[in-house]
Every structure is written in C-alpha cells, then in structure tokens.
Amino acid sequence: FFNKEGDFNNLTAAAYHKKTHLLVTGFASGVFHLHELPDFNLIHSLSISDQRIASISINCTGDWIAFGCSGLGQLLVWEWQSESYVLKQQGHFNSMVSLAYSPDGQYIVTGGEDGKVKVWNTSSSFCFVTFTEHNSGVTAVTFTSTGYVVLSASLDGTVRAFDLHRYRNFRTFTSPRPSQFSCLAVDSSGEIVAAGSQDSFEIFIWSMQSGRLLDVLAGHEGPISSLSFNPMKCVLASASWDKTVKLWDMLDSWRTKETLIMNSDVLVVAFRPDGKELAVAALNGQITFWDHENAVQTGSIEGRHDLQMGRKELDKITAKQAAKGKSFTTLCYSADGQSILAGGLSKFVCIYNVKEQILMKKFEISCNYSLDAMEVFCVSKEIKVNGTCMFFQEYLDRRKMTEFGSMALIDEGGGGDMSYRHFKPEIRVTCVRFCPTGRSWAATTTEGLLLYSLDSGLIFDPFELDIDVTPSNIHKTLSQKEYTVAIVMAFRLNEKKLIQEVIEAVPSSEVDVVCSSLPDLYVEKLLEFLASAFETSCHLEFYLIWAHKLLMLHGQKLKTR
C-alpha cells in the first residue's frame, strides 16, 4: 500500500490495535500516519520530528500511542482523538558528561556533549527543564548550596548560572581571552565560582553576586582536569595533567598553600564531606588519599584490575595487558565519608572502603553486548616451548577468527573510502555522584543516567494474603512472638485498644527489629497512632523509642513521598 503511494518515505515502525482496527505507521522522515483497516482510511498524519521513528506502541484501550525516536532520544505519548500530547520527554542525544545532585537529593542536573543542561526529578525520573544556551559541549555541572541555582561550564568559553525559580540564564561568566573550560567548582557559600581551562592551563575565579572576574590563578603547566572546594574551609584543590595537585588559599589572596606531587597525570580530585581528606585519581590507575593540611599521603588503592574489561575487537593485546592502561576518571565520597565511588572507561563502578582500602562492591552498569569490549570469549592456545606443551589463555571472539586472523581487523569499507568505516561504541562512565542523603548514587554513562538506591519505591504488602484477621488470631500471633505480623493484623482490624495492647506487648529490645521489618504502608499508620498515644499514655519513653526507631529507619522514604 505504501509503495503504491509514491510520496511516502521509508517505513521504519508499525503497530496495529485489533479492537479498534487502528494501524499506526512511522517513517524515516519523522512522520506518522493513522489508518483505519481494512479500508485504509487515513484518520490523520503528523510530523513529530525530523528523525526516523524507531518504535511505536498502542495502549490496551487504543487511545494513546507511544513513539520512540532513537536519534534524538525522544519519547512521545500522543492521544489521537483529542490530538494532544500526554507525555513528551527527550534525553541528551549525545553522551552525558557530568551530573550533580541538589542538596536535598530531589533533583539531578546533567550536562551533555550536545550542549544541553537538563534537570531531572529523582522520584519521577522525568526531565522537567532543559537549558540550551551553550553553543558547545557541556563539561561540568553543579548546584549551589541553596539548591536553586545550577552552574554549567562548557567548551564554548562560558560558565552559565541558571535560576530554577524562573528557569532562566541569569549570569554568564567569561574569561578575558576565550578559553575552553574543562571543570567547575562552587564554594559552600555559593558566592565564589571557579573554572579550569584546558588550553591556557589557568583557573578563573568569579563572584556570583556581581558576575565579575576576581582572579586568574596561574601555576599549572598542563590542562586543568578537576577542581574541588573544601566544604569546611576556604581552600580550592586543583588537579592537572602536569602531575600535581595544588591547594589555593582563598583568604590568603589565592596563594598556593601546598603542591602535592604525583607519579602520573592527575585526572580527578575530591574532598571528603568533612573536608579533612583529599582523594586523587591519576592516570596510572591509582587512587591516593591525602591529609592535605600536612601534605601527607595516608593511603592508596590500586584500582586498575577492578576496572576489568573484555578484549576489544581490534585489540592486538590481551584484556589483562590492556588493563594496565586503565584508570578512574571520576570519584565521589559517600555522604558519611567512609566509602569512595569510582568509575572510568569500563562497565564497572567500584565502591571502596577508604579506611581498609578494599573493594566493597562492583556494580556492572551494562550487559549490552553490542558495545565494544563487553564480550569475553576464551580461547586456549597450545604452544610448544623446548618440547613442553604450554597453554596460554587469550580473550578473543572465536566466531570472528579465521586462518588469516581476526575478521574484525579487516575493514569492509568501500575501497578505501573513509566514510564507510564502522565502529562499535565503547562503554564508559563519565561521572558518579553520591546523593547528599546517603540513600542513593547516580552515574552518567553511555547507557544514560543510572540511579542506584537503597529505597525501593514500591509498596508491597505481603501480609494481606491468607491470615484470618480476628482478635483471637491476633492474640495467638502475639503469644508466638510474631510481633510484626500481630501489629499489621491489629491495624487491619483498626481497633485502637487492640493496637495499643499489641504495641505495648512488644519488648523494648525488639522495637528495632519490628520497625525494620514493618511494611512501608503501616509505618505511617503506626506514626499516626503514636502521635495520638503521646497525648494520653503514661509510657512516654517506650513510645519515644518507637518514634525514634521508625523515623531513623523510614524517615528518608517518608520525606520523599
């Protein structure tokens, strides 16, 4: 049917709804059509973008149609009867480079190579504002301590401040000579903004209030890779490819307070939340910890082997050898300062214990085998050395091996035409950040913005299933010391006297255990009951223990809801 109509573009996606006989078709030009079958009556057609429509889905009633455009990272839900958008979301269409949490952990700001700055809601996972003022890739983003201002640095030579009340760019900071800014930091008061340059090797300091350039710090002999303000003192740490970390004292006219010499190019620097320790990641794969007050190294972590990658298609050396060139490119302390989160050019994000200097956990951020260096195929080679058989493990893709070597090394391009080359994207983690609440962390990766949390957003209530809820059953459960089940059953019956009896039957030593195993649904009910019980009960300390344990264990979840 579409081939008969000469003016149609290539068909790229289609979906059919049986009940309403609705056929939705999407095309390479970004146009979609709605037809009624079997007569092929055109209901309407619309262009949603200039990129190809990659996928289409219709909901069960046939009212809403969802479209995905992979080129722009776009998701649209369209109600065709009223001809209106139900939902419109778009991600960064190049990779994300940087992220930052707001001080209350409710929002995340991300910056991408497409020059966009996006602010996301952590509970709904939706982007609610996009700033497009930058003309080149964004390299760093951060929130001020108030949480109402977002700052971003870019390769276009500007640092911009955005207001989250009015959604506008209210300050633009520039340098006397155009510079490409590679990193950004703002002090704890939100008054001093610092950005590092990758071409002039200088650090620029501005006043947020006036927008004026206050100072230019020179001294590094290589591109500035990272900046970090001490949360407790007026000290700025700067890392550079010249193998040094410099500490600048704001109160002493920005003089260099200390210079820490490293063995390798420094990629990232981060202060512990209490400001007493400095973590530094270098090109040799090491994370070193420093007491910056006395310029003494307090520990180090050898992280190269934890980054562990498979062998790339075109690699001529094994994965184990290639790991020697791997390093961490992003670091972040946990909210309590006891752990450090590290990521780099690898599918793994590692969490280390700082004190013990050991790997606590590794998170695998992707299992996507269409990315390079993800697959690990093991081939055993038999080599005779002085008549002795020796076996060597190699990591190669067996399916691509021929007697002439790996097929991946053969470029199937059109007779040397460079535009025909194809390559596989490689997985990488560009930035990791811990939430200030300490309950979650986020990473910007080639797979998108990933959030890992200790709190599951779902409320599942398993006790509803099969117990007959009667007062006698509640007393029976209580006598068997199944306190949590008894409390839940008592709330089901909702008799105040019975609830009080059950709660007061729980020994004070068991309160902690009962609170931690209580379903979320009943936490609020129990808090409501406690609030009323405080007015009348003589067991004040006992009820205070309950309230304290409940708020310590579930307070964060209650706040986000």
Mean pLDDT rounded to a whole number for the chain:
86
How far apart are alpha carbons 223 and 366 in whole angstroms? 31
Which pLDDT does position 421 carry in this prediction?
59
At residue 283, φ and ψ (nearest 5 deg) are: -65, -20
Residues 240, 122 share a domain: yes
The answer to whether residue 251 sits within a structural domain is: yes
- Residue 404 pLDDT more than 50? yes
Which pLDDT does position 401 carry in this prediction?
66
How far apart are alpha carbons 280 and 266 in whole angstroms? 7
Lowest mean pLDDT of 86-90, 118-122, 321-325, 381-385, name the range: 381-385
How far apart are alpha carbons 2 and 16 in whole angstroms? 16
CA 489, chain centre distance (Å): 40
Higher pLDDT, 71 or 431: 431
Share of the chain above pLDDT 90, in %: 58
Which pLDDT does position 492 carry in this prediction?
83
Mean per-residue pLDDT for 96-103?
A: 96
Residues 506, 432 share a domain: no
The answer to whether residue 334 sits within a structural domain is: yes
Domain boundary among 39, 67, 90: 90
At residue 487, φ and ψ (nearest 5 deg) are: -65, -45
What is the per-residue pLDDT across 420-445, written as a single tens digit (0 to 9) for each? 556 677 888 999 999 998 889 999 99
Mean per-residue pLDDT for 173-196?
A: 95
Residues 215, 268 share a domain: yes
| Residue 326's CATH number | 2.130.10.10
Residues 33, 146 share a domain: no
Residues 187, 63 share a domain: no
The answer to whether residue 359 sits within a structural domain is: yes
How far apart are alpha carbons 119 and 125 in whole angstroms? 10
Query: 477 CB contacts (<8 Å, ≥6 apart)?
Result: 485, 486, 489
Residues 84, 107 share a domain: no
Higher pLDDT, 404 or 246: 246
Kindly indicate the confidence band of residue 166, based on its pLDDT and cuts at 50, 70 and 90: very high
The answer to whether residue 341 sits within a structural domain is: yes
- Residue 372 pLDDT more than 60? yes
The answer to whether residue 228 sits within a structural domain is: yes
Kindly indicate the confidence band of residue 447, based on its pLDDT and cuts at 50, 70 and 90: confident
How far apart are alpha carbons 272 and 78 in whole angstroms? 47
345 three-class SS: coil
What residue has token string 């752990």?
A: 339
How far apart are alpha carbons 95 and 430 in whole angstroms? 9
Residues 347, 318 share a domain: yes
Residues 22, 38 share a domain: yes
Which pLDDT does position 321 carry in this prediction?
59
Higher pLDDT, 512 or 304: 512
Residues 149, 35 share a domain: no
Mean per-residue pLDDT for 250-276?
A: 93
| Residue 36's CATH number | 2.40.10.480
| Cis preceding-peptide flag for 231 (omega within 30 of 0) | no
- Residue 7 pLDDT more than 60? no
- Residue 390 pLDDT more than 70? no
Task: Show the domain range for 485.
Answer: 471-560
| Residue 545's CATH number | 1.25.40.190
Domain count, the chain: 3
What are the C-alpha distances in Å from 375 to residues 15, 301, 368?
A: 33, 27, 9
Residues 479, 537 share a domain: yes
- Residue 464 pLDDT more than 80? no
Kindly indicate the confidence band of residue 385, based on its pLDDT and cuts at 50, 70 and 90: very low
CB 133 within 8 A of CB 160: yes
The answer to whether residue 49 sits within a structural domain is: yes
pTM summary value: 0.74
CA 241, chain centre distance (Å): 26
Residues 478, 446 share a domain: no
Token pair for 109: 């700001």
Partners of residue 207 on adjacent β-strands = 192
Residues 364, 242 share a domain: yes
